[in-house]
Chains A and B, each alone.
Chain A
């Protein structure tokens, strides 16, 4: 099987330093870039599926500024076969709509069985790109996967889609797009061997000119959304700390909840 994984570098949520620049876009110097958490689950799932089917390959596709190879290299160290870095100055400031358009164009140039993506990214938490990319490609979307079972002989894939009360078992022909959740399993740590091997793995660069995309339909000038204002949320009030017996602590909680009319 050939599995493509969409990988997005995001500012490290653990750094706490993310901020917007004067242009209203993410200030990429404000926090170190890491592979988005849900993309790592997608990659882990892809690597497991590939290991279960001889001759499989896993290709990473990332649309990101020129600094992205560092995060792509980390994802390659986990075991992906190769990376494709879609990058072009004209893409800066692209909104979610044009991002999906560009990713779909990059995917159209590849022959694949499955595209795996994270359900959302930790920076914007939009969660619309997998469905938009699937629609552009004219492929079925199997979303919020907690289990993925391809049947290569039948050319079909089954996915357990998480919902609040249980799950739906979905089925569609391959190729298909799957959005992935943490329930697929913990991503592996790159081994030393993997890190060494990743150094020599191919990262191909694709510019806008090499994709079937109208340059006027992407980038900041074509963005469908605009930032009006941004601000830092007001800090929460001081923390009241209570020590004492469990009964005293519990009594203070009840008093607090009553004061705030919660109970």
Chain B
């Protein structure tokens, strides 16, 4: 039976992306269920830090130095090195290659599928075993459907959605092995500048609690209250497309059809009507609480709790009560 490979994605400061820790935990559990070995692969200019972090979750990690990754986009380079690693393991190929379903992971999965012909199942919410190999749960059409899919040949690439698993380190750290890998060279893309935006928020896909504002928030000033509530609840700020299009908040915080798809434990929607384009981005949240003036807004149909009222009045009261509770 083939191994499972987990591809580490680059995180801040040359380390591991948080999503990769979740993917590694999911893979470790999946490996234990299927009696499979699970191996991590870290490709970076200096892969030591990424490999060491990945080894907190997995028994074995292969560290591959790719010097060009320092000044070039990661995905195409990593796909080339992993394709090379697959050639070396042609006699005993892995059954499943798992990577996060973020921007780097999707670019990587696309490039690796083109190089190898391996199928890709995307945005998995869970993975289990069937007689024919991995059984991958997905929710296409913005969660209107749940599907379980497999690979025709029993092997392939899976991109894993954020929050599919909580990241839990293994009981003991794994071993890092340094490897060289050849493989095809895809065209390089130079990174001229890496810009960090002042006060950039944590990635909303990874947040357990999201406080989101819509048109009802009324302007950038209104998002101050949203931000304060997020801080008090240790959550992230999200927004509808209407709020983003109005320039009140960055596109990186947009949830919905053309933004992020999120699955937090709590989704607190302030002044959000719940139009279908937004709903598809958040309807699988654990709990949905809405504050809206309009008791007949579409969000009334899928929220668990709807507080009818002015979001600023209710929001301010909520902030005050939360503070007195924690204070």
| B151 at the A interface (CB under 8 A) | yes
| A33 at the B interface (CB under 8 A) | no
**Interface-central residue, A143, A228, A229, A250, by most chain B CB under 10 Å:** A250
Residues from 301 to 319 in B contacting A, C-beta threshold 8 Å: 301-310, 313-314, 316-318
Q: Which range holds the interface residue count of chain A?
A: 35 or more
Are A256 and B75 neighbours in the complex by a CB distance under 8 Å?
no
| B90 at the A interface (CB under 8 A) | no
What is the number of residues of chain B that contact chain A, defined by CB distance less than 8 Å? 104
Residue in contact with B195 in the complex, picked from A119, A166, A241, A249, CB distance below 8 Å: A166
| A196 at the B interface (CB under 8 A) | no
Residues 177-208 of chain A, each 1 if its beta carbon lies under 8 Å from chain B, else 0 = 00001110010000000000000000000000
| B191 at the A interface (CB under 8 A) | yes
**What's the nearest-Cβ distance from chain B to residue A65, in Å?**
18
**What's the nearest-Cβ distance from chain B to residue A23, in Å?**
14
Residue in contact with A164 in the complex, picked from B120, B144, B252, CB distance below 8 Å: B252
Residues on B with beta carbons closer than 8 Å to the beta carbon of A136: 114
Residues on A with beta carbons closer than 8 Å to the beta carbon of B149: 225-228
Segment with Cβ contacts to B, from A46-54, A55-63, A79-87, A125-133: A125-133
| A29 at the B interface (CB under 8 A) | no
Are A172 and B189 neighbours in the complex by a CB distance under 8 Å?
yes
Are B108 and A131 neighbours in the complex by a CB distance under 8 Å?
yes
Residues on B with beta carbons closer than 8 Å to the beta carbon of A100: 110, 113-114
What residue in chain B is nearest A249 (Cβ atoms)? B307
* With A225-B150, A253-B289: A171-B313 Cβ-Cβ less than 8 Å: no
Residue in contact with B197 in the complex, picked from A129, A165, A223, CB distance below 8 Å: A165
Residue in contact with B146 in the complex, picked from A122, A165, A232, CB distance below 8 Å: A232
Residues from 225 to 240 in A contacting B, C-beta threshold 8 Å: 225-233, 236-237, 239-240
| A213 at the B interface (CB under 8 A) | no
CA distance A165 to B316 in the complex (A): 29
Segment with Cβ contacts to B, from A1-9, A14-22, A69-77, A105-113: A14-22
| B167 at the A interface (CB under 8 A) | no
Are A228 and B146 neighbours in the complex by a CB distance under 8 Å?
no
CA distance A249 to B295 in the complex (A): 13
| A254 at the B interface (CB under 8 A) | yes
| A92 at the B interface (CB under 8 A) | no
Are A260 and B287 neighbours in the complex by a CB distance under 8 Å?
yes
**What's the nearest-Cβ distance from chain A to residue B317, in Å?**
4
* With A126-B106, A143-B103: A16-B259 Cβ-Cβ less than 8 Å: no
Are B276 and A168 neighbours in the complex by a CB distance under 8 Å?
no
CA distance A68 to B82 in the complex (A): 37
**What's the nearest-Cβ distance from chain B to residue A195, in Å?**
24
| B58 at the A interface (CB under 8 A) | no
| B327 at the A interface (CB under 8 A) | no
What residue in chain B is nearest A258 (Cβ atoms)? B325
What residue in chain B is nearest A177 (Cβ atoms)? B187
Are B277 and A172 neighbours in the complex by a CB distance under 8 Å?
no
**What's the nearest-Cβ distance from chain B to residue A104, in Å?**
8
Residue in contact with B113 in the complex, picked from A122, A132, A230, CB distance below 8 Å: A132
CA distance A165 to B144 in the complex (A): 30
Residues on A with beta carbons closer than 8 Å to the beta carbon of B304: 236-237, 239-240, 256
Residue in contact with B106 in the complex, picked from A97, A131, A140, A171, CB distance below 8 Å: A131
CA distance A225 to B286 in the complex (A): 29
What residue in chain B is nearest A159 (Cβ atoms)? B189
| B194 at the A interface (CB under 8 A) | yes
* With A131-B114, A168-B73, A168-B193: A242-B308 Cβ-Cβ less than 8 Å: yes
Residues on A with beta carbons closer than 8 Å to the beta carbon of B178: none
Residues on B with beta carbons closer than 8 Å to the beta carbon of A233: 139, 143-146, 284
Are A97 and B117 neighbours in the complex by a CB distance under 8 Å?
yes
CA distance A96 to B117 in the complex (A): 10
Segment with Cβ contacts to A, from B24-32, B46-54, B152-160: B152-160
Residue in contact with B144 in the complex, picked from A18, A120, A181, A225, CB distance below 8 Å: A18
Are B120 and A96 neighbours in the complex by a CB distance under 8 Å?
yes
**What's the nearest-Cβ distance from chain B to residue A232, in Å?**
7
| A90 at the B interface (CB under 8 A) | no
What residue in chain A is nearest B155 (Cβ atoms)? A224
Can you identify 8 A-B contacts, CB atoms within 8 angstroms?
A: A13-B141, A130-B107, A130-B110, A142-B189, A146-B251, A182-B244, A225-B121, A226-B151
Show the binding face of A for B, using Cβ within 8 Å. 11, 13-14, 16, 18-20, 37-38, 41, 95-97, 100-101, 104, 119-120, 122-136, 138-144, 146, 158, 161-172, 181-183, 186, 223-233, 236-237, 239-244, 246-247, 249-254, 256-257, 260, 262-263
Other 17 A-B pairs with CB < 8 A, given A125-B122, A128-B159, A241-B308: A96-B113, A96-B119, A125-B142, A128-B113, A134-B76, A140-B189, A141-B187, A143-B103, A164-B202, A168-B191, A170-B190, A236-B302, A241-B300, A243-B309, A252-B307, A256-B289, A257-B266
